[in-house]
Structure 1
Amino acid sequence: MPLHHLAVSPADVSGAGLRLALNAAAPTPLATCRLTHPDGGALVLGVLGASHMVTVEHADSAFSEEVSCTAAASTELPHRAVAPGYLLESRHETHSENSFRALAHLLRTRCAQEGGWLGGAFPGDDAALTALAAEPDGDGWRWRTWHLYPDPTGGGTVVHTSSRWRP
């Protein structure tokens, strides 16, 4: 099932501390989903402790993206990052209680019902969720992620990323 109910507390409890690491050794994910490219190769989506990793296996190269508070990088998650064949765009959004809960419900449903999706739900709040979706893009891949951080006073913060990689 692509929506995993994880029996661990999230390690990352705030989107403000997220960092980006490319092609670095990543920790073992709590949940994964492997997708095969029609032209060969694969992409693995991974949920970490309220953060994510994506690894690409290609005939001629490999690539990885980690967005977490423990990523081996000294820089905060940028709004835009570019590397050869790679582009990431990110944004932080603050949601009201109703819109935050509606987004969490939509993402949980998509993870549970659609191919190419992976979700990790954390205990204590139905909206504590990390969701990832990926699909082939030409000879490469594109993926999106949502990191949902509930606010105890209502609503919450969403960190959304959109990435693409081509060999």
Structure 2
Amino acid sequence: MSEQPGELSASVTRLPVAYADTSAAQLGFSLDAPLQEPLAREDGEIDGITVSVRLLGASHQVVVDDGAQRICETVACLPEVTSALPKSLQDSGYLFSSRIERADDDRLAALVEQLGVRVTEQMAAGNPSVMGVFPGDPHAVTAIVSDLSADSISWHTWHTYPQAGEVVITTSVIHRGAATA
């Protein structure tokens, strides 16, 4: 299901809001923040497990729900998200890692092009994925790419900050059969 205003392609959306976050240092992390109204969203299901990838401005939420347990990963600049973004976290079959990379304009341009292709390919393969492009800077994007397999559910995110020359990259994995919360 696609809920994307101003679509550029099936999975790349021109977001209708100004870029709000100013740097990677502002991002917080939560596994239990309340659901936020997404600007763009893609949902999918594998073996009764629902995966919803959601763009929240320059932030994201990924919700994985198997009917008994739900994880709601939120990386955002929100009042409800007060924990600092961890470099790594492991909890009951859930693994999270993040890193910040420096990127000049040329690297950002190449990354945005690669992300558009990757998001489109993953959507074509049936994996919920989405990318939002903010007005005013074609390199200001947030992207989520998921991969659903028999053994795990994983997703990668990219939050670009062209004005600071930064990219925040996160990787999350839930091993199937393990508790998700």
For the criterion TM > 0.5, the same-fold answer is yes
Partner letter of residue 111 of structure 1? Answer: V
Partner letter of residue 107 of structure 1? Answer: L
Q: CA deviation at 1:140?
A: 4.0
1:6-45, CA deviations, whole angstroms, 9 ceiling, x for partnerless residues? 11112222111101010220321111000111x2221000
Instruction: Supply the distance in 1 between the matched residues of 2:102 and 2:21 (Cα, whole angstroms).
Output: 17
The equivalences for 1:83-162 within 5 A come to 83-115=91-123, 116=127, 117-151=129-163, 156-162=165-171
1:37-68, CA deviations, whole angstroms, 9 ceiling, x for partnerless residues? 1x222100000011100001103211110000
Partner letter of residue 101 of structure 1? Answer: A
Contact 1:20-1:71 within 8 A present in 2 as well: no
Where 1:27 maps in the other structure, the secondary structure is coil
Instruction: Supply the distance in 1 between the matched residues of 2:71 and 2:100 (Cα, whole angstroms).
Output: 25
Where 2:111 maps in the other structure, the secondary structure is helix
1:75 is matched with which residue: 83, 89, 93? 83
Q: What stretches of structure 1 of length at least 5 have no aligned partner?
A: none
Contact 2:53-2:61 within 8 A present in 1 as well: yes
Instruction: Supply the distance in 2 between the matched residues of 1:28 and 1:163 (Cα, whole angstroms).
Output: 22
Instruction: Supply the distance in 1 between the matched residues of 2:122 and 2:64 (Cα, whole angstroms).
Output: 21
Q: CA deviation at 1:141?
A: 1.0
Equivalent pairs counted in the alignment come to: 163
Deviation larger for 143-152 or 107-116: 107-116
Normalised to the residue count of structure 1, the TM-score between the two structures is 0.90
Where 1:138 maps in the other structure, the secondary structure is coil
Partner letter of residue 65 of structure 2? Answer: E
Q: CA deviation at 1:113?
A: 4.6
Instruction: Supply the distance in 2 between the matched residues of 1:86 and 1:19 (Cα, whole angstroms).
Output: 18
Residue matched to 2:41: 32
Q: What stretches of structure 2 of length at least 5 have no aligned partner?
A: 1-9
Contact 2:122-2:147 within 8 A present in 1 as well: no
